[in-house]
Amino acid sequence: RKRFSERQAEQWWAENRARVYEQYNVRMVEKSSIGVGHDDASH
C-alpha cells in the first residue's frame, strides 16, 4: 500500500498541506453551517 517513500511523502505534504487543509476546512465549514441551519429550522 506504500506508494511513496517516507521522504517523498514528507516532500509532498510540505508542498500540498496548505491546499489540502484549505479544501478540507472549507468543506467542513460548509457542512457544519448548513447542518446547524437545518437542525435549528427542524427543531
The domains of the chain are located at 15-43
pLDDT at 13: 87
Q: What is the secondary structure of 20-38 as a DSSP string?
A: HHHHHHHHHHHHHHHHHHH
pLDDT at 19: 86
Task: Give per-residue pLDDT as tens, 1-43.
Answer: 667 799 998 998 888 888 888 887 766 666 666 555 555 555 5
Residue 23 main-chain phi, psi, to 5 deg: -60, -45
